[in-house]
Amino acid sequence: MKNWVVFIFTLVIVSACSNERLSRSEAVTKYYNGFDTGNFNEIKSVLGDSITLSSGDYVMPYGHSDFYEFFKWDSVFDTSFKIIDLIEKGNQIEVKIKSESDRYRYLENNPLETKFLISFDEGRITSIKDLGSETADWVLWRTKVDTLVNWTKVHHPELDGFIFDISMKGAQNYREAIRHFERGPNVK
């Protein structure tokens, strides 16, 4: 009987600990750590049933399976994430992220520091709004993207369309286009 009391007491304690809610700051840290380490389950554990990403006029709602496709796209570029600053603003978090990737390297914007406003519902991340980057050179970025897209259409049409394909295959084609281009714009 004594063993059962100890077992039930332990079960109650473990159950209570596992149901503890993370603070908003902890959830944001876990979210970016999941991206940095390539652990989608860590990301998924802090997301609401859906998440909306917005940047300027671009607004994209995702369910978990769609967001997993976005996660896989990003992982192809070996992106790293580091939280530089994190400020709680009521039910939201403003976070400044330093990210580095093979894609940003090609675009000559590596590292890239960006601010995001993260919103929550019942302790879960439900939206992330891009507040902009003070370190980005958007003119250079656009020039590099346009040059790569146009060169790819001519020299590697099998990879064309990568810029609009936010799937793992699209990211692999993007990366392959960069690889071919960096070998030399005149080399097929």
Residue pair 184/160 in contact by the 8 Å Cβ criterion: no
Verify that 150 and 129 share a domain, yes or no: no
Average pLDDT of the chain? 88
Instruction: Express each pLDDT in 49-98 by its tens digit.
Output: 999 999 989 999 999 999 999 899 989 999 999 999 999 998 899 999 99
Domain count of the fold of the chain:
2
Verify that 27 and 100 share a domain, yes or no: yes
Asked which of 95, 117, 134 is the last residue of a domain, the reply is 134
Verify that 142 and 124 share a domain, yes or no: no
Verify that 124 and 148 share a domain, yes or no: no
Instruction: Express each pLDDT in 150-164 by its tens digit.
Output: 999 999 999 999 999
Verify that 60 and 80 share a domain, yes or no: yes
- CATH number, residue 54: 3.10.450.50
Q: Over pLDDT 90: what percentage of the chain?
A: 78
Q: 60 is written with which tokens?
A: 């994209």
The residue range of the domain holding 142 is 137-181
pLDDT band at 7 (very low <50, low <70, confident <90, very high): very low
64 occurs within a structural domain = yes
Give the global pTM. Answer: 0.81
The pLDDT value given to residue 17: 45
User: Nearest-CA neighbor of 72 among 179, 177, 174, 171?
Assistant: 171
